[in-house]
Amino acid sequence: MAERLWQTNIKQSRLINLGVERYASHYAETTIYGAENVEAIKELLIQKTPVQLYPNHLSHADGPVLAIEFKKMSPEVAKKLRFVMGSVIRGNLLTYILMHAYNGLVIPSQRRKPDSSEGWQVRELQIETADRAAEETLKAGNVLVNFAEASRSRERKMVKVDNKIARYFYFVPNTHLVPVGIWGTESVLPPEKTLALHGEVFLNIGQPISVRELEERIGKSSSKDENDQRLVDALMREVAKLIPEEYQGYYELPRS
């Protein structure tokens, strides 16, 4: 029988947590932009409005940096962050240790494409259970953090996001999406490295956008697939606005 992937609780160790935070703070000198938008997120949560964060993805350091910096800006919001991660994190020592920055709870999903029909069946079941966990965490008032590009960009540029990501927008009504830009992490913890290097990291938090606002912005499409792709692309262009031009890649913005 195919394995179901439920929310994963990482057994917490105060010593490991402190070590991860000090490790990240030592190697990553982080500059924050858009800190005022964390207050907007907090206000939405007080109003019981569902919130999801959508960062770009350059490095295994992205998640820990985001979690640690949110803890500094707003411990209340940081406690509610729930990360959707690829299932491979469970078998990687580095990502397992770094997950201690995530409050000990992640939602593993299956993002790799298998090479057999049986593999596809397993993948679909794992996605189904991960989606159910994501829906439950939103209904509980937590904040979903989703790296929509699915994996770290080796080209250090944004890549096209699959339109299936749009399903997350509709797990609960009145969802608000927060674009987040991260850069510099690719130098602190490059995809091909297992040891960190010193470097500057930048975190830019955008303003929350309701799914309804995105829908109004893109208008009607001829098919659901096209509509979903336009929704996803509209969100990722908001992410692209928050990062330097050289990182925008597929979502490069028109030059003024």
Tens digits of residue pLDDT in 132-157: 888 999 999 999 999 999 887 878 99
Q: Given this model, what pLDDT does residue 195 score?
A: 67
Q: Given this model, what pLDDT does residue 95 score?
A: 63
Q: Given this model, what pLDDT does residue 256 score?
A: 63
Q: Is 253 exposed, middle or buried (0-12, 13-18, 19+ CB in 10 A)?
A: exposed
Domains for the chain: give ranges and CATH numbers. 10-105+141-250 (3.40.1130.10)
Q: Given this model, what pLDDT does residue 199 score?
A: 86
Residue 91 CA to residue 106 CA, distance in Å, equals 14
Q: Given this model, what pLDDT does residue 130 score?
A: 80
Helix, strand or coil for residue 210? strand
pLDDT < 50 positions in the chain = 1-9
Q: What is the pTM of this model?
A: 0.86
Q: Given this model, what pLDDT does residue 148 score?
A: 93
Residues 6+ apart with CB under 8 A from 108: 5, 8, 85, 86, 87, 89, 90, 126, 130
Show the DSSP H helices in 140-210 as ranges.
185-188
Tens digits of residue pLDDT in 58-101: 988 898 899 889 999 999 999 999 988 765 565 565 666 666 56
Q: Is 196 exposed, middle or buried (0-12, 13-18, 19+ CB in 10 A)?
A: buried
Q: Given this model, what pLDDT does residue 101 score?
A: 60
Q: Given this model, what pLDDT does residue 159 score?
A: 95
Residue 153 CA to residue 198 CA, distance in Å, equals 20
Q: Is 18 exposed, middle or buried (0-12, 13-18, 19+ CB in 10 A)?
A: exposed
Q: Given this model, what pLDDT does residue 108 score?
A: 59
